[in-house]
Amino acid sequence: MTARKKLFLKTYGCQMNVYDSERMAESLKDYDQTDRADEADLILLNTCHIREKAVEKVYSELGRLRDLKDAKPDLKIGVAGCVAQAEGAEIMRRQPLVDLVVGPQSYHRLPELEARARGGEKALDTDFPEEDKFDHLRRRPKAARGPTAFLTVQEGCDKFCAFCVVPYTRGAEVSRPAERVLEEARDLVERGVRDITLLGQNVNAYHGAGPDGDWSLARLIRELARIDGLARLRFTTSHPNDMGDDLIAAFGEEPKLMPYLHLPVQSGSDRILKRMNRGHTAEQYLRLIERIRAARPDVLMSGDFIAGFPEETEEDVRATLDLIEAVNYGFAYTFKYSPRPGTPAAERAQVPEAEMDDRLHRIQALIARQQRAVQDAMVGRDVNVLFEKPGRFPGQMVGRSEHLHAVHVTAEGLEPGVVRHVRITASVTNSLSGELRG
């Protein structure tokens, strides 16, 4: 029997990368994961290309691995994720330490690439193959899981927002067949999962093949909700133009679909939305939220904003602040615009750095106020909490409310995976605390 090897896997970026990393780790059957790079036989960086100087960060991270490789010549180093896709063979040219480069659509080929790298080859795969990579990324049988899990149902994007690199790194929109998703969800539930977040770069455009034609995301959610033992469903990330009537209705009709929706708008200015190639106006976005709230009045909205998109003026920023006021977000994320090579916006007149910082801070301050007020408004209410893990203090358990707020409760006999009624008693910086009700 061969000795087991050790894998150090570092994940950057979005939840989809977290999901991909889990699948990659499971596919490397001769490896156990370690959190110490210095004892690893294989180091894999699962990279993100969405913002900032992602490529340079990867090269400097790789540079720091030189000593480890010198000390242990058998150590193999691999780069996965969106920087791998964007850079391809250039990574191996610029950094000869790298043995393996694998793009997000080729992870099912990782065991073979690892074997080739082990044999002394430089192994590279950044194709966009036709097959479903997750079919080949088999899970280890029946390993127990915590109560929450991500499940990728869709990848890639055809929207081509002018700032975004995703359509280039993750490719065109592809949906996994519905039966595969159902199978994977049933397997997760058998292993202890109670709360599943469906993932996709444009998840609400899901249109996977079903036994009776293509299924929408709403149909998929309705079928998933029939799985006994599954308590909660969420999905992320969505584009406003793909919020179909059936999906909006599902918020009112499907009790397992949680009242939480991440629906990025990026800007509140129609002029900027047009330049971003978003395909909708601020007014259309606000009307859409009205319809969602008509279906489920307590839905908690979340979003993404970009501060300092090229040619953005003070008036545009005010329009964004007005839109945020009108929506009242429970959570939202603001990013400084970062020019991504190869995207149309990178060629345009950039907003000066100091202006960008100022706008970022103003938008963030407004969102922080809203977020806190939405959280504070939970005090005194009874909510359902799905408990996940022990908290920092003895006897304490932490879970999530239906609206995704973290909730701390100190009580006897709470196990991960149980859902209980909790009376919220206090709101602190990033969480709520409460007491069991019955």
Per CB under 6 A, the list member of 16, 43, 161, 230 interacting with ligand SF4 is 161
Q: What is the CA radius of gyration of the chain?
A: 23
Q: Which does 160 bind (CB under 5 to 8 A by kind): ligand SF4, ligand 5AD, none?
A: ligand SF4
What is the sign, positive or negative, of the torsion defined by CA atoms of 67, 70, 71, 76? positive
- Which among 203, 92, 98, 189 has a CA at the least distance from the CA of 149? 189
CB-CB contact of 367 with 332 (8 Å): yes
Q: Is 164 annotated as a binding residue?
A: yes
Distance of CA 395 to the CA centre of its chain: 31
**Binding of ligand SF4 at residue 275 (CB under 6 A)?**
no
Q: Does 47 bind ligand 5AD (CB under 6 A)?
A: no
Q: What is the DSSP string of 395-424?
A: TEEEEEETT--EEEEE-TT--TT-EEEEEE
User: Which among 254, 189, 192 is positioned nearest to 225, based on CA atoms?
Assistant: 254
Rounded to a whole number of angstroms, the minimum distance from the CB of residue 82 to ligand SF4 is: 11
190's tokens:
């058998």
CB-nearer residue toward ligand 5AD: 310 or 391:
310
Size of the site for ligand SF4 (CB under 6 A): 10
- Name which position in 12, 59, 285, 337 contacts ligand 5AD (CB under 6 A): 337
| Residue 118 near which of ligand 5AD, ligand SF4, none (CB within 5-8 Å, type-dependent) | none
Neighbour-count burial for 381-414, b at 16+ CB within 10 Å, e otherwise = eebbbbbbeebeeeeebbbbbbbbbbbbbeeeeb
Q: Is 157 annotated as a binding residue?
A: yes
Phi/psi at 261 (5° precision): -140, 120
For residue 306, state whether it binds ligand SF4 (rule: CB under 6 A): no
Span near ligand 5AD by CB under 6 A; candidates 41-49, 129-137, 207-215, 331-339: 331-339
Interface residue with ligand SF4, options 17, 27, 85, 201 (CB under 6 A): 201
Q: 36: which 2 tokens?
A: 């110490």
Residues 160, 166, 170, 176, CA torsion sign: negative
CA distances from 212 to 195, 224, 296 (A): 27, 16, 29
237 preceded by a cis bond (ω within 30 of 0): yes
Task: Classify residue 347 by burial, with Cβ atoms within 10 Å: 0-12, 13-18, 19+.
Answer: exposed
Cβ-count burial 220-234 (b if 16+ within 10 Å, e if not): bbbbbbebeebbbbb
Q: Is 173 annotated as a binding residue?
A: no
Q: Which of 76, 239, 296, 420 binds ligand SF4 (CB under 6 A)?
A: 239
- Our finding on whether 203 is near ligand SF4 (CB under 6 A) is no
* Nearest distance in Å: CB 153, ligand 5AD: 17
Check the annotation: does 48 bind a ligand.
yes
Residues in contact with ligand 5AD, shown as a per-residue x/- string from 370 to 409 under the rule CB under 6 A:
----------------------------------------
Under the criterion CB under 6 A, does residue 164 sit at the interface with ligand 5AD? yes
By CB under 6 A, the residues from 288 to 317 that bind ligand 5AD are: 304, 306
Q: CA 347 to CA 216: how far, in whole Å? A: 36
From ligand SF4, ligand 5AD, none, interface partner of 306 (C-beta below 5 to 8 A by class) = ligand 5AD
* Residue 148 contacts ligand SF4 per CB under 6 A: no
* Nearest distance, CB of residue 281 and ligand 5AD, angstroms: 18
52 vs 67 by CB, closer to ligand 5AD: 52
Consult the annotation and say whether 322 binds a ligand.
no
Least separation in angstroms between CB 184 and ligand 5AD: 24
Is-contact 58 77, C-beta < 8 A? no
Query: How far, in Å, CA of 104 to CA of 98, rounded?
Result: 17
Closer CB to ligand SF4, 201 or 267, in the complex: 201
397 is in an annotated binding site: no
Contact residues toward ligand 5AD (CB under 6 A) are 50-51, 163-164, 264, 266, 304, 306, 335, 337-338, 340
Annotated binding-site residues read: 14, 48, 82, 157, 161, 164
Could you list the residues known to form a binding site for [4Fe-4S] cluster, using ranges.
Answer: 14, 48, 82, 157, 161, 164
